[in-house]
Structure 1
Amino acid sequence: RAENPSIRLGVTGGGAPAAPGAHLAAAVATGQATVGVAWRSRKRGSGPRPWKNTAVQLPTPAQWTRPFGLLRPADEIGMLARRYMHEYGATRDHLFNVALACRNRANQNPAAMMYERPLTREMYMTSRWISEPLCLFDNCLETDGALACVIVSAERARDCRQRPVYVHSAAQGLPAQHHGMVNYWNDDPLTGPAWTAARHLWKHADFTPDDVDVAQIYDAFTPLIPLSLEGYGFCGRGEGAAYTEGGALEIGGRLPLNTGGGGLSEAYVHGFNLINEGVKQLRGTSTAQVPGAATCLVTAGEGVPTSAILLRN
Structure 2
Amino acid sequence: TPAAQWTRPHGLLRPVDEIALLTRRYLHETGATRDHLANVAIAVRKMANANPLAVMHGRPLTREAYHAARWISEPLCLFDNCLETDGALACVLVSAERARDGPHPPVYLHAFAQGLPRQHHTMVNYWCEDPLRGPSWTCAEALYRSADFGPDGVDVAQFYDAFSPLVLLSLEGYGFCARGEGAAFAEDGGIELGGRLPVNTSGGGLSEAYVHGFNLITEGVRQLRGDSPNPVPGAETCLVTAGEGVPTSALLLRR
Q: What TM-score, normalized to structure 2?
A: 0.99
219, 231, 255: which one aligns with 1:289: 231
- Residue of structure 2 in register with 1:194 after alignment: 136
- Residue of structure 1 in register with 2:171 after alignment: 229
Which one-letter code corresponds to 2:219 in the other structure?
E
RMSD over aligned Cα, in angstroms? Answer: 0.7
Deviation at 1:181, TM superposition (A): 2.3
2:153 paired with 1:211: yes
118, 121, 143: which one aligns with 2:85: 143
| Range with bigger deviation, 177-186 or 137-146 | 177-186
Which one-letter code corresponds to 2:142 in the other structure?
H
Q: Which has the higher helix share?
A: 2
2:180 paired with 1:266: no
Distance in 2 separating the partners of 1:270 and 1:230 = 21
Distance in 1 separating the partners of 2:29 and 2:127 = 17
Deviation at 1:180, TM superposition (A): 1.5
Which one-letter code corresponds to 2:59 in the other structure?
R
Distance in 2 separating the partners of 1:288 and 1:180 = 35
Aligned residues: 255
- Residue of structure 1 in register with 2:188 after alignment: 246
Distance in 1 separating the partners of 2:178 and 2:220 = 24
2:27 paired with 1:85: yes
125, 132, 156: which one aligns with 2:74: 132
Distance in 1 separating the partners of 2:111 and 2:247 = 18
Q: Which has the higher strand share?
A: 1
Distance in 1 separating the partners of 2:183 and 2:197 = 13
Deviation at 1:280, TM superposition (A): 0.1
Where structure 1 has 5 or more consecutive residues not aligned to the other structure, the ranges are 1-58
2:128 paired with 1:175: no
What are the equivalent positions in structure 2 for 1:1-12 lying under 5 Å apart? none
Distance in 2 separating the partners of 1:64 and 1:236 = 31
2:95 paired with 1:153: yes
- Residue of structure 1 in register with 2:39 after alignment: 97
Which one-letter code corresponds to 2:74 in the other structure?
E
Q: Secondary structure at the match of 1:228?
A: helix
Encode CA deviations 1:230-256: one digit per residue, 9 max, x unaligned.
100000111111110110111000000
Distance in 2 separating the partners of 1:266 and 1:296 = 18
Which one-letter code corresponds to 1:288 in the other structure?
N
- Residue of structure 2 in register with 1:301 after alignment: 243
Distance in 1 separating the partners of 2:228 and 2:96 = 22
Q: What TM-score, normalized to structure 1?
A: 0.81
Which one-letter code corresponds to 2:180 in the other structure?
G
- Residue of structure 2 in register with 1:164 after alignment: 106
Deviation at 1:147, TM superposition (A): 1.3
Q: Any runs of at least 4 consecutive aligned residues in structure 1 with deviations exceeding 3 A, and if so which? A: none
Distance in 1 separating the partners of 2:8 and 2:49 = 37
Distance in 2 separating the partners of 1:62 and 1:300 = 24
Distance in 2 separating the partners of 1:244 and 1:257 = 10
